[in-house]
Structure 1
Amino acid sequence: MASLPIFISAVANSTDEPHFPLLFTWSTHDGQIKEVLITPDDEWLHDHSIEPNLQNLDEQQLYEFGYEAQDILAEWATELDTDTMYAIDPETVEILIENLYDTKGLDPAFEVLPIEHWFDERDVDLHAARQENGDETPLSLLSPDEQIMSLLQVAANHDLLDLSELAQDEPL
């Protein structure tokens, strides 16, 4: 079986003019959901501020609980063996990923495509499938972890993911 796709979501410093990430949430190839706060790079805060956001993330929380760019990039390099990630808002997520990599003078090793692309390739209308499940709230209004959970659930409901194989990997 092919590994699961990587779905990714992010919270930016601003909804109007996103310049740097505050939080990334992504699925892994084994169906887990990971979420990490990002410690802001000094240069980011020199030019831009952190505006109020739906997750109520502020600068103090990021410094207290966040991870440096190099730690996140190291984790992605070892765990995310992919050249494509899928996002609800690919343009914004791509900007945030590029800015994270840019702190270390690197370029991302993957591209970010619209989530609809992955579902369309599998003949599933994502929005119709969510409505069939009773999910009326637009994905963009859900928290990042709820977005990822919703996407994985739709994929599983349409037999695009075989989650039973993942359970077999656990020790008895």
Structure 2
Amino acid sequence: MPAPRFLDIEYCQTDDALFPVAMAWSLENGQMKTVVIAPADEWLPEDGDLGDFDLHYLEEQGVPLLELIHELHQDLPDQTVYVDGLDPDEILVDLIFNAMNQEVPFEIAAVTELITSLSADALEDYRHQILFEESLEPQLPENGVYALLLMAQTYGLLDED
């Protein structure tokens, strides 16, 4: 049984901007990919205020959008990709693909559609517990995906190798 796919996005949000800065997603085998994202020029606020984010770092270390889209097309075609449901993930994914005039090759769903035996609040409490017990920083997308993978494992949605 292939593992469910998960995705989490770290983003910059100011009064004038909302755009992704890093993304992590899981693969069929349960492994994970993570990238820093080079922002599209149209995403940047005119005043240049990115809050806690360093534009130079994002531009120098970030993956170009075309490369990111190519990876996502390879890794997640025709899949349902689950998110924690807390962030504007669907909006952020649309921003990435719209910037390159591409269609999103996957569907986004909340993890509550995958793990239906717990309420949304109970799932969120469990996710927070995992992040705390594993000493993971919640804002890092790879930690968000890892927590979702651990939740899926607990509920028997991953093969035990």
How far did 1:62 drift?
A: 0.8
Q: How does 1:15-30 map to 2 (within 5 A)?
A: 19-30=18-29
Corresponding residue number in structure 2 for 1:40: 39
State how many pairs are aligned: 157
How far did 1:112 drift?
A: 1.3
How far did 1:31 drift?
A: 0.8
Q: With structure 2 as the length reference, what TM-score do the two structures score?
A: 0.80
CA distance in 2, matches of 1:14, 1:40: 13
Range moving further from structure 2, 20-29 or 7-16: 7-16
Relative to its length, the structure with more strand (as a share) is 2
Corresponding residue number in structure 1 for 2:90: 94
How far did 1:131 drift?
A: 7.4
Find the partner of 1:147 among 137, 144, 147.
144
CA distance in 1, matches of 2:100, 2:63: 14
Task: Report percent identity of matched pairs.
Answer: 27
CA distance in 2, matches of 1:60, 1:113: 33
Secondary structure in structure 1 of the residue aligned to 2:94 = helix
CA distance in 1, matches of 2:129, 2:71: 36
Q: In the alignment, is residue 160 of structure 1 matched against residue 143 of structure 2?
A: no
Secondary structure in structure 1 of the residue aligned to 2:114 = helix
Task: Could you tell me which runs of 5 or more consecutive residues in structure 1 were left unpaired when the two chains were aligned.
Answer: 165-172
Secondary structure in structure 2 of the residue aligned to 1:25 = strand
Whose Rg is larger?
A: 1
Task: Could you tell me which runs of 5 or more consecutive residues in structure 2 were left unpaired when the two chains were aligned.
Answer: none
Higher relative contact order (CA 8 A, sep 6+): 2
Evaluate the alpha carbon distance shift between residue 31 and residue 17 of structure 1 in structure 2; reply closer, same or farther with a 3 A threshold.
farther
RMSD over equivalenced CA pairs, Å: 2.9
Secondary structure in structure 1 of the residue aligned to 2:93 = helix
CA distance in 2, matches of 1:96, 1:20: 6
Q: In the alignment, is residue 85 of structure 1 matched against residue 85 of structure 2?
A: no
Range moving further from structure 2, 8-17 or 32-41: 8-17
One-letter code of the match for 2:25? W
Range moving further from structure 2, 5-14 or 84-93: 84-93
CA distance in 2, matches of 1:18, 1:85: 25
How far did 1:102 drift?
A: 0.9
Evaluate the alpha carbon distance shift between residue 107 and residue 48 of structure 1 in structure 2; reply closer, same or farther with a 3 A threshold.
farther
CA distance in 2, matches of 1:163, 1:49: 47
Evaluate the alpha carbon distance shift between residue 146 and residue 17 of structure 1 in structure 2; reply closer, same or farther with a 3 A threshold.
farther
